[in-house]
Structures are given as structure tokens and as C-alpha cells.
Structure 1
Amino acid sequence: MAIVTESFLPALNGVTTSVCKVLENLRARGHDALVVAPGTSPWSPTATPERYAGFPVHTVTSVPVRQFRVGLPSYELETVLHRFRPDVMHVASPFVLGVRGLTAARALDIPSVAIYQTDMPSYIRQHSGPAGNLTARAAWRWIRRIHQQADLTLAPSTSALEDLRAHDVARVALWGRGVDADLFHPDHRTDPETEALRRSLAPNGEVLLGYVGRLAPEKELHRLAEIARLPGARLVLVGEGPSREQLEASLPGAAFLGRREGLDLARAYGAFDLFVHTGTRETFGQTLQEAAAAGLPVVAPARGGPLDLVDVGVTGDLFDPDRPGDLAATVAPLAAREAGDRRRAMGQEARRRVVERSWPALVDQLLDHYVTAMGGATVSVA
């Protein structure tokens, strides 16, 4: 199969993570794949790899847009696909490069599966000022046109599935996201490195309220001001982005750990007592799954992807993002020092549930969706 993605390494985000995990599991099953992705700038200190999981990566010219690399569509895509002759095309979060990929798949009679992953209309509404609603409607028209070209569109949550159907996107199905339950594991809490990190962040035994993700306006991190001064607690943010300087000024006392990957990220989760997410535009919420796998209770908005991931009172809690102060009211009982047993019980149940959503299981489901898009044909193995 050919995977055309709007985002890939060295960029780290949900789209990149999903594509990488799919590739790793396709390799483990003996399938063959090709990746088409935006290339990095010649002046970038890190470059898009030429291969990943043993598969070739073909890069296209890209331009920076709000700190993202956007791949420019061109006719070279047809040539690349014609040479590779895939059984199926997997298009990750199509918006620009992915559109060209779907057009090429149609021209070459390649079955296609489009992965809906980013709530672009909401992001556009947020950044378009008074014209926000108008531009969001235009974005939905564009998304509908994109996905009409796909044989099957996969949504990551029931909320995203409902949004697609409400905007007349046809041929849709549910496909969630996997989680690395071996990397993100409660055992990291007792790592010497994790214990040292926790001592530095909570020298007086503070309850650590953690966030992991981009520090950007669309994550609505201004909401964290409600819980920045909860007694006996401290905010810890992992990630980088354009909002960091503003957040450092508005969240006095919070700790900023910067970008972390792999085991360093797992240890950051291990140092937390409670995971807090603020964005209301998440079609899924991968960091919520990672936190759950690490044995943490999760507090998130009662909107979008978190509705599928948080069982209120059992694995965490949901707050009303339209009610000022509700985040603080929801977090405060769980952030109390005497709530330790409750947090641990929630975290244990969150872990128990999330381990059922491993990446191997999710890729098995994805292969079934490929077969559906192919009209029942078998996906070939190299």
C-alpha cells in the first residue's frame, strides 16, 4: 500500500505518530509500503528520513505554514504511484497533498482509504476572526469534496463520525487509534529517573497536574489558568509551540519540560498524578490514551474525542468547556492530596481498559478496512 500523509517525521503530532505505528505494524505482518510526505527545508537541522520501518519515503516540496510543513501537490505523485503499483492508497488527514493523492488514486484506479484526523473547520473558525463561521462552512465544503474521492473514510471517534455524517460525507466508518501500552506503563513511576524528575517538580509533595501536547492556541491552554493556583498542586506542561512564551507569563509556578519523546516522555507521564487536557477540537485525543496507559486518571472537555475515552467517575472526569470555572471545579477534588487512593483506582481502571486498544489490534482493523475499500479483494503480502 501507499501512504500519503500531510505530516511526517521530523514533525511530531498525532498524524505522524499514527502513520509511523501503522508502518511498523505493516512491516511486522510482511506487507510492502511506500510513504509520500512533505520534505523538510534544506536549512532544517533535522530531515525527513529516506526510509522508515524499512519502507522508502518519497518527499515532495513543502512550504511552512504556522510551523507546519505543507506538501505541495504535483504530477510527480502519479509517476511514483504508477511505479509502485499499490493495492490500496492510505491518505492520512488529507487537506492539500492528500487531495492530490486521492486524485491520483482515482486516475490510476487505486482503491483509497482516507483517514479523517484533524478538525480543520474548527481550527479555521478559531483563527478567522469575524469571518470564522463563514470560513468554517467553506472548510466543510472542501472536506466533503476531498472525501467524496475516497472509497472509504475512517473517523477516529463517534463524535467525528457524527460530524462527517452531519456534513454529508458518505462511506464512513469508525477506526480509532492504538496506544503503545508497553512504553506508556505505570511501572515507570518507580524508575530512578522518574523519581528524580518528580522530586525536582514537587519538592514539597505537590500533586502534579500534567499536560502533553503542542503549546498552541488551538489547544486552548489558557483554560489552565483556572487550576494554576490550586493549593498543594503544580502544573507541568510537556511540549513546544508558539504559545510557550505567553503561557510561561500567564501560568506562574508552572513547569515547562519542553519536547520529550520515547522513554523520556513515558517518564514524564510517570511523574504526573493527574492528566489534564483542555482542547475542545480533538477528533480523538491520543495523549489521553497515553496517559491512561501510564495509569493516570484523565480530566478533559466533554466534547469531541474525549467523550469516547473518559468514563466519568471511573477513569477520570469531563468538564463543561462552556461554563467558566468548571475545569477548576472538576480538577480540584481529584487534585487534593487526600484523593490519592481515588486517583490510583481511576488510573488502574483506565490502564485496564486502554490496553485493549494496542496498535497491532488497530492495524488488524485497518487491514479489514483496506479490504472493504478494495471491494473484498485481498491485501497482498510482500
Structure 2
Amino acid sequence: MRILVVSDAWLPQVNGVVRTLDILRRELQRDGHEVVMVTPDRFRTLPCPTYPEIRLAVRPGRLVARLIEAAQPCAIHIATEGPLGWAARRYCLRRRLPFTTAYHTKFPEYIKARFRVPLKLSYAVMRRFHAASSRVMVATQGIESELLQRGFHRIGRWSRGVDTDLFHPRPEARGEAGPFAGLARPIFLYVGRVAVEKNVQAFLDLDLPGTKAVVGAGPQLEDLRRRHPGVHFAGARFGEDLARHYAAADVFVFPSRTDTFGLVLLEALASGLPVAAYPVPGPLDVIGSSPVGRLDQDLRAAALAALEADPALCRAYALEFSWAASTRQFIENLAPFETTRWQEPMPA
């Protein structure tokens, strides 16, 4: 099947959405599907206000239409609610083509944190965007329940996986040649975007023994580095280097209250690293009451309690999540249509 995926988030951005879609593309191709990506690198773009690392396509409608028509896909998936997503949505509605969407990001909460826009207004826009979708894919039961309460419909599950070959325990990473050599233990680690919506400040404000370490980049990085000289800021890390940072730490602290899943939770667990987080959607769905970490409204208490978790249990727990199963869910949620639709005249 030829599947066209439209996303405003794409490489070289580093975030959970990009990683999910990149892995999905590879898994689909491995299963024999053809994947066509419509992403910002094919358009003229401008930097996103307050987050210049994200590039937004400028007036993409005509080119989006040409790319879709050139691909003549069997199914269309719109992954994000940015300019490309809205342009693809308009095209599909005009051509009466079914499409699916995904709710990767709590944009209303992000926009409120950055611009003080009321949640009611932002959720009304999100509801309109997804209303025509044949299936709104979400990663967890918690997010599904929230969206149902806010008036969303036709919601389907699309979970996530983890690369357990890359992320695994590495005892040598905790030694003198490891990334945190010379730092006082225990090492409490955060991995992710360094941005206001990730609530990193809540982690850095905790009174914890040992060392707090941050791996990642983002618009808050320099400000937080300046205000917290005692924190180890490692910058963005990738591949084996990133995996070694996970494996070298003692507890993974996840301060976000707005993530819809949190791939980093699985990466930490696969590395044998217990998790401390707030009891909110995402951590509640991934960790719950399992003994691989601790969820508590007191994040300091959660972090200290997580030190007692068994790394072997964390690794075993992560092995239950696979990208193959995630990809099967994605395929089952799609709304394929007959390719003869491309021979039909476009409605006036």
C-alpha cells in the first residue's frame, strides 16, 4: 500500500513526534509498504515564534495538493495540526478523500504556557481540525479519555515502541570512562526538549542529593544553564551517545505534565533506568502502578523512591513494547480508499 504522511514536524528537528514518524516510516517500508512524506523540507519556511528550531511552511496549499496528486496514495495520514496539516486537510475535504489524523501533542497546553491563550479556544480549534478525520490516533487511554471529555470522536489507539537493541543497560557507562564520570551520585537525569512546556524548571528546582543532569536542547537551554550552574547540561545527544547517557544515570526524572506519551520513558526503562514522574496521562499509562518507578505529585519524593527500583525489572518491562506492534496498530487505523479515486474529476 502507498501511504502518504503529512507532518509539520520532521528532521532535523529532535522530538518524540519526529522520532515516532521516522521509525514508523522504516517499519512500514520493512513490511513492504511505500511511504511518501510531505514535510517542511520541501517548502519555503519561516521559524516558529519563540521556537526558531521549528520551521513552518509558508502558504503550502498548492504544493501540498501537487505532492498528494503526484503520489496518488492509497491512504493519507495527517500527523500534525500545523500549516501542512491544515493544507492537506483542506485538500482531502475538497476531494472527498478519507484521511486519518494523530493527536501527538497537547498544543492547547503548550500555547497557553507560551502565549496565555485560553484552553477553551485552543481546544475548539483542535476539535475542528480532527472532526473530519476517519480516525484520531492517540497513544494512551489517558489521552483518549481526555479527548472524549472535550468532544473529540472516532478515536483509535496507536501506541509506541522502543529500540531495545540501542537502549539497554551498559555497566561500563557508569565507570570512569562514562559520560557522568567525576560527578557526584546519584545521577538524576532529564532527557528531552528544554522548553517551557516540558516543565524542566520543576526538575531543576528539586532538592536532591548527587547531581541533576539534562540532555537536550531548546529555547530555554541558555537561560536555565545560567540560572542553575550546579546542573550538568550535556546538550543534545543522539544514537549510541544518547543511549550511554541513559545507562549511566540512576533515575530518570520526567517533569512534564503535558506529554501524550513520552518516548523517553520507554528509552529510560529499556536502559535499566527507573522513572520518577507526576501521576498524569503519559506516565500513568506507561508506568502506572508497576514497580519500575514512582509517580507522585511530590516529584522529589518520586525521584528518591525511584532509586529503590530494580533495574532488571525496568528492562524487562520495556521489552513488552515493540515498534512492530505499534506499526500494526497504525495500519489498522488507516482509512484506505480505491486508487481509482485519482481518475475522478476534482469537484468544482
Task: Establish whether TM, by shorter chain, passes 0.5.
Answer: yes
Classify the secondary structure of the residue corresponding to 2:101. Answer: strand
Instruction: Select which of 133, 139, 146 maps to 2:129.
Output: 146
Q: What is the match of residue 161 of structure 1?
A: 144
The CA RMSD measured in Å over matched residues stands at 2.0
| Structure 1 consecutive aligned stretches of length 4 or more whose deviation exceeds 3 Å | none
1:273 equivalent in alignment to 2:250? yes
Deviations 1:312-354 (A, max 9, x none): 360101121xxxxx2222223444xxxxxx33x1x32222122
Residue 107 (structure 1) shift: 2.8
> Which of 303, 314, 320 is the equivalent residue of 1:331?
303
Task: Give matches, 1:82-93, under 5 Å.
Answer: 82-93=69-80
Q: Residue 40 of structure 2 corresponds to which residue in structure 1? A: 38
Query: How far 1:280 sits from its partner (Å)?
Result: 0.5
* Cα drift, residue 221 of structure 1: 1.2
The Cα of 1:201 is off from its aligned counterpart by 4.4
2:22 counterpart of 1:3: no
Report if aligned partners of 1:103, 1:149 keep a CA contact under 8 Å in 2.
no
Report deviation, 1:199: 5.4
Corresponding position of 1:196: 177
AA paired with 1:274?
A: V
Alpha-carbon distance in structure 2 between the residues aligned to 1:273 and 1:180: 20
Q: The residue matched to 2:177 in structure 1 has which SS?
A: helix
- Distance in 1 (alpha carbons) for counterparts of 2:180 and 2:196: 30
Going from structure 1 to structure 2, the CA distance change for 1:122 and 1:242 (only over 3 Å counts) comes to same
Deviation at 1:179, TM superposition (A): 1.2
Q: Which runs of 5 or more residues in structure 1 are unaligned?
A: 40-58, 321-325, 336-341
1:108 aligns with 2:95: yes
| Residue 213 of structure 1: how far off its partner (Å) | 0.5
TM-score, with structure 2 as normaliser: 0.90
Using the TM superposition, give the Cα deviation of residue 246 of structure 1 relative to its aligned residue in structure 2, in angstroms: 2.2
**Structure 1 counterpart of 2:186, which letter?**
V
Paired position in structure 1 for 2:329? 365
Task: Give the partner amino acid of 2:294.
Answer: D
What SS class does the counterpart of residue 163 from structure 1 fall into?
Answer: helix
CA distance in 1, matches of 2:173, 2:292: 24
Distance in 2 between the 1:199 and 1:240 partners? Answer: 18
Cα shift readout 1:236-287 (whole Å, capped 9, x = no counterpart): 1100112122222333321111010111100110111110011101111111
SS at match of 1:64: strand
Asked if the contact 2:4/2:75 (under 8 Å) is kept, the reply is yes
The alpha-carbon deviation at position 154 of structure 1 amounts to 0.5
Which residue of 166, 182, 189 maps to 1:210? 189
Match of 2:21 in 1: 19
Match of 1:28 in 2: 30
Distance across 2 between alignment mates of 1:125 and 1:300: 22
Q: Is the 2:277–2:302 contact (alpha carbons within 8 Å) kept by the matching residues of 1?
A: no
Report the Cα distance in structure 1 between the residues aligned to 2:328 and 2:204, rounded to whole angstroms: 42
Secondary structure class of the residue paired with 1:356: coil
Quote how far apart the aligned CAs of 1:189 are: 3.0
8 Å CA contact 1:239, 1:258 repeated in 2? yes
Whichever residue aligns with residue 81 of structure 2, its letter is P
Match of 2:222 in 1: 245
Q: TM-score, normalised by structure 1?
A: 0.82
Which position in structure 1 is the counterpart of 2:208?
Answer: 230
Unmatched 5+ stretches in structure 2: 340-348
Distance of 2:320 and 2:267 partners within structure 1: 13
Residues 1:282 and 2:259 aligned together: yes
Looking at structure 1, the residues matched to 31 and 243 of structure 2 have their Cα atoms a distance apart, in angstroms, of 26
Return the letter of the residue paired with 2:39.
Answer: A
Number of residue-to-residue matches in the alignment: 333
Task: Supply the distance in 2 between the matched residues of 1:60 and 1:15 (Cα, whole angstroms).
Answer: 19
Q: Against the structure 1 CA distance between its residues 262 and 199, is the aligned structure 2 distance closer, same or farther, given a 3 Å change threshold?
A: closer
C-alpha distance in structure 1 between counterparts of 2:105 and 2:314, whole Å: 25
Secondary structure (helix, strand or coil) at the match of 1:63 reads strand
Equivalent pair of 1:2/1:88 in contact (CA under 8 Å) = yes
Query: Aligned AA for 1:220?
Result: N
Q: Of 159, 166, 182, which aligns to 1:183? A: 166
